[in-house]
């Protein structure tokens, strides 16, 4: 199986979904715990939630493999994203509840991690970087929207319940302030949803690495509380009723990004 699916668009916006994949190669699955084989920490149904992207002209990059194979939103050198906090690794060893992913003596060694980098991580990021470069060349500006979701309560990472809409711009470094401000306005105007900018989730490797406003590339991450569009317990069912309420806000954000890009000098 290829490490990603790519759908080219015709606007300056690329939407990345690095944690939506669920595939685990058979040889690896034999070394994983039963709990891990259920891939519970997936960004479940994010691709289904954003099913309007093609019609709206965005390019879309979707991971096919589970984050347990390799985390596409972590630095290739495995540096922690949030020093001093609990972090998951480039090739994670534990579930979000701190239980093991691998059976005894099943964890990958350095050589295996390097092989996974070459087989899965590098192709995904090559396509991402290549697309952003082509978009910037064509439009004079490139926009990256990194789409994520997580359970609304994960004691390991944050206290209590997560806000519904968590926007991240690496504390303002990865996107222009007026673009960010417009998305914050849209989120704040969404009735029935809580929102925060650069709270617990400030953007992962993708947002921080590619978002370089001075070079015409603006990156924003949106981490959704999964309770806004799905059942958070197995079998992680998609909720059409909840999604129908949330999609107008998501679509407004996507539209605001492309409208903003159209106003920038070419």
Measured CA to CA, the distance from residue 197 to residue 217 in angstroms comes to 19
| 3-class secondary structure, 22 | coil
More reliable by pLDDT, 22 or 79: 22
Q: pTM of the entire structure?
A: 0.96
| 3-class secondary structure, 80 | coil
Share of the chain above pLDDT 90, in %: 95
pLDDT average, residue stretch 40-50: 98
Cβ atoms within 10 A of the Cβ of 110, count?
A: 7
Tokens representing residue 242 in the block: 């909840």
Measured CA to CA, the distance from residue 103 to residue 245 in angstroms comes to 41
| Alpha-carbon distance values, 104 to 29, 30, 56 (Å) | 13, 12, 47
pLDDT in tens, 142-158: 999 999 999 999 999 99
pLDDT at 79: 87
Measured CA to CA, the distance from residue 69 to residue 65 in angstroms comes to 7
Measured CA to CA, the distance from residue 178 to residue 198 in angstroms comes to 15
> Radius of gyration of the chain from Cα atoms?
18
pLDDT at 84: 76
CA 201 to chain centre: 11
Query: Is the predicted pLDDT of residue 201 greater than 80, yes or no?
Result: yes
Cβ atoms within 10 A of the Cβ of 42, count?
A: 20
Q: Which residues pair with 13 in a beta bridge?
A: 143
Domains and CATH numbers, the chain: 4-262 (3.40.630.40)
pLDDT in tens, 206-230: 999 999 999 999 999 999 999 999 9
Check if the beta carbon of residue 200 is closer than 8 Å to that of residue 166: yes
Query: Is the predicted pLDDT of residue 87 greater than 90, yes or no?
Result: no
């Amino acid at each position: 199986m290829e490490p990603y699916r790519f759908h080219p668009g015709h606007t300056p916006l690329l939407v990345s979904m690095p944690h939506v994949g669920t595939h685990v190669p058979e040889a690896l699955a034999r070394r994983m715990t039963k709990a891990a084989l259920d891939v519970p920490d997936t960004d479940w149904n994010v691709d289904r939630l954003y099913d309007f992207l093609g019609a709206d002209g965005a390019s879309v990059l979707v991971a096919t493999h589970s984050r347990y194979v390799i985390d596409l939103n972590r630095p290739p050198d495995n540096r922690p994203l949030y020093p001093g906090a609990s972090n998951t690794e480039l090739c994670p060893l534990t579930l979000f509840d701190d239980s093991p992913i691998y059976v005894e003596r099943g964890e990958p060694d350095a050589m295996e991690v390097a092989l996974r980098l070459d087989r899965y991580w590098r192709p995904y990021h090559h396509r991402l970087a290549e697309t952003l470069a082509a978009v910037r060349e064509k439009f004079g500006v490139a926009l990256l929207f990194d789409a994520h979701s997580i359970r609304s309560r994960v004691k390991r990472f944050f206290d209590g319940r997560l806000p519904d809409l968590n926007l991240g711009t690496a504390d303002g470094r990865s996107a222009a302030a007026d673009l960010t401000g417009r998305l914050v306005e849209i989120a704040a105007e969404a009735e029935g949803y809580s929102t925060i900018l650069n709270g617990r989730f400030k953007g992962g490797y993708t947002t921080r690495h590619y978002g370089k406003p001075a070079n015409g590339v603006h990156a924003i991450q949106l981490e959704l509380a999964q309770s806004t569009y799905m059942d958070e317990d197995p079998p992680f069912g998609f909720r059409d009723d909840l999604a129908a309420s949330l999609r107008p806000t998501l679509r407004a954000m996507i539209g605001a990004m492309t409208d903003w890009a159209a106003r920038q000098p070419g």
